Amino acid sequence: MLTVTPRFSATHIDEIPRDLQPLAQTSMTLARVLAGRGVQDVANLDTAFNKMLPANSLTGITKAVALLDKAIDTQQKILIVGDFDCDGATSTALMVRVLREMGAQVEFLVPDRFKYGYGLTPEIVALGIETYDPNVIVTVDNGISSHAGVELAKAKGLTVIITDHHLTTQAAPNADAVVNPNQLGCAFASKSLVGVGVAFYVLGNLAKVRRQANKSTTQVSRYIDLVALGTVADVGVLDQNNRILVHQGIQAIKQGRCCVGILALLEQASRQAADITAQDFGFILGPRINAAGRMDSMRIGIDCLLTDDWGEAQRLAHQLDKLNQERRQVEQGMRQQADSVLTTLENPSEQNSVNQVTHPKRSIILYQDEWHQGVIGIVAGRLKESYHVPAIVFAPADTALIEDDDAIKGSARSIEGIHIRDAIESVAQTYPELISHFGGHAMAAGLTIKRKNFEPFCKAFDEVIAAVADEVFAETLYSDGELTAGEFTVDFVDSLQTLAIWGHGFVPPIFDGVFVVQDYRVLKERHLKLWLSYPDVPFTIEAIWFNADFDAIALSAINRSVSKVHLLYELEKNLFNEQTKLQLRVKKGVLL
């Protein structure tokens, strides 16, 4: 049997929080799911705009709005400096659209990750001045650590407004205004806003100020689709404030009130806007936008979100889809290489280069000279999921420069219980010569080191991870319990999907149970399709297990219609040949 931990254990209505008991009378399972995520009252699920946190507790927002208001009135040239991921793309598109509608002179610049790296660097400031000659620079989804870039911009006489959400333990740069819920001293109640959420608050407040002064303005909520997309794609924690943003964005897209670029991207994925879910932002739209920054230039993705021409949107969406296919191929090759390196490292005598260093028990840190820096974050995430340890994957900053003193860039992903940015900062504080730059969050971070410092960094990181308690590395499998026979229906899936916005920090419902294997099939040598029976369910239940663990379920040992499996799974709907069926998406499983 799988060892699962109940997210919330309750078998009687009296064990359910009082304000959830009316729901429990209809469905104990739904009430148990909510209680397991800390919901005490269905009112916590309210996703109306008026339930959002007020903007006035965001430090710096009043000053930022005043500066933008003046810049619009005096026709100062504004340059938006974004980031090369989906959050940065949606933040940039939102800023450009809204400010232009207010009458501002606006251009945007996104650093090429392969030339300039992340943030408002002095090089980007110089490029921005040379190309656009701005009066005002506004950062979105970056800037909180850009001290040198801000100083250069100020020295050149520019006004600098930083809007960001990344963590920092230092004082903010000397900008004219800094808006970041995670800056020191900010009292904003939610620290989970992503970059586009911060931009939305700033622009919404600006629109309010200009409306009250009878100045040209616009309705910022028209672009809530961009906010929802960026929030989910950047894996923002779905507290109530973020759930409101995502829910409102989903409703806008379903009703066709969205950027035509989003509709074109959905068309490329053969998805209907009316059926969109929060998961589609993370698995369908986000990867296609991100592919631009990973494989080429994020300007393609931003242009797709900015255009109002359907033909142009289709052309750009097709280009993004091709880039995403290329990204998948590169990722698959890198993942195969990574698995090969890890297999080789199980036999230390076969280690032969700096490119093959890892700590397989408590962390995975890998580098190869030929790896693509645009995909290292995805590969790190896959390794983290497979091995349940922090993973850092490095690639050359420039594949033509792979000498010892040349830079390599790493992308880190972590597990619950290990704050990866703080772990990297600990290395930087103890060994300041090892890390050139770093930044990020609890679960994801980025850093730059010299190639010659790869092995010393691995050892230093291992010292930090060695102090982590052993139980952190024991993966806990949470379950919302077993379903009744009557809950294996498409209608029950619909009730789950409409109950709340699910995602990071408000995890989708996941159940477990014992099934009889009626039949199975291996797909593409990696995935497992199962046909199952369950007590009192009068039909065969279909299940899919992507990247199946064939060690846990040895196919040669399965006796059809007899063998039982214990599965941990999510419920979903599968549309095939215009017929919608219930399907289980297996997360873990074991043959009994």
Q: Where are the domains of the chain?
A: 19-44, 52-322, 363-467, 485-591
The confidence score (pLDDT) of residue 355 equals 52
Q: What are 531's strand-pairing partners?
A: 519, 542
**pLDDT, average across residues 235-253:** 95
**What is d(CA 324, CA 365) in angstroms, rounded to the nearest whole number?**
25
The confidence score (pLDDT) of residue 349 equals 45
**What is d(CA 506, CA 524) in angstroms, rounded to the nearest whole number?**
32
pLDDT in tens, 189-222: 999 999 999 999 999 999 999 999 999 999 999 9
* Band of residue 351 on the pLDDT scale cut at 50, 70, 90: very low
**What is d(CA 487, CA 483) in angstroms, rounded to the nearest whole number?**
6
By C-alpha distance, which of 268, 272, 182, 285 is closest to 233?
Answer: 285
Pick 52-322's CATH classification: 3.40.50.300, 3.90.1640.30, 3.40.50.2300, 3.40.50.1980.
3.90.1640.30
**pLDDT, average across residues 393-405:** 91
Edge-first strand order for the sheet with 391-396 is 364-367, 391-396, 407-413, 444-450, 435-440
| Contact (Cβ atoms closer than 8 angstroms) between residue 386 and residue 548 | no
**What is d(CA 120, CA 81) in angstroms, rounded to the nearest whole number?**
7
Q: For the chain, what is the mean pLDDT?
A: 93
pLDDT in tens, 77-107: 999 999 989 999 999 999 999 999 999 999 9
| Contact (Cβ atoms closer than 8 angstroms) between residue 582 and residue 543 | no
Half-sphere exposure of 417 (CA within 13 A, CB side): 16
**What is d(CA 439, CA 421) in angstroms, rounded to the nearest whole number?**
6
Residue 92, amino acid: T
pTM for this prediction = 0.89
The confidence score (pLDDT) of residue 372 equals 92
**Residue 361 pLDDT more than 80?**
no
pLDDT in tens, 495-508: 999 999 999 889 99
| Residue 522 vs residues 332, 525, 543: alpha-carbon distances, Å | 19, 6, 12
| Residue 328 vs residues 105, 144, 300, 518: alpha-carbon distances, Å | 38, 32, 18, 33
Tokens of 76: 């100062």
Helices in 61-113 by DSSP H: which ranges? 61-73, 86-101
Instruction: Please tell me what DSSP assigns to residue 365.
Output: E
The confidence score (pLDDT) of residue 112 equals 82
* CATH code that applies to domain 485-591: 2.40.50.460
Q: What are 108's strand-pairing partners?
A: 80
Pick 363-467's CATH classification: 3.40.50.150, 3.30.420.40, 3.10.310.30, 3.40.190.10.
3.10.310.30
The confidence score (pLDDT) of residue 352 equals 43
Instruction: Please tell me what DSSP assigns to residue 171.
Output: P
551/323: higher pLDDT: 323
Percent of the chain clearing pLDDT 90 (strictly above): 83
Tokens of 71: 């810049």
Percent of the chain clearing pLDDT 70 (strictly above): 97
**What is d(CA 69, CA 208) in angstroms, rounded to the nearest whole number?**
11
Residue with tokens 């631009």: 292
| Residue 378 vs residues 115, 235, 286, 365, 372: alpha-carbon distances, Å | 20, 13, 13, 14, 11
The confidence score (pLDDT) of residue 359 equals 52
The pairing of beta strand 159-163 with beta strand 105-109 = unpaired
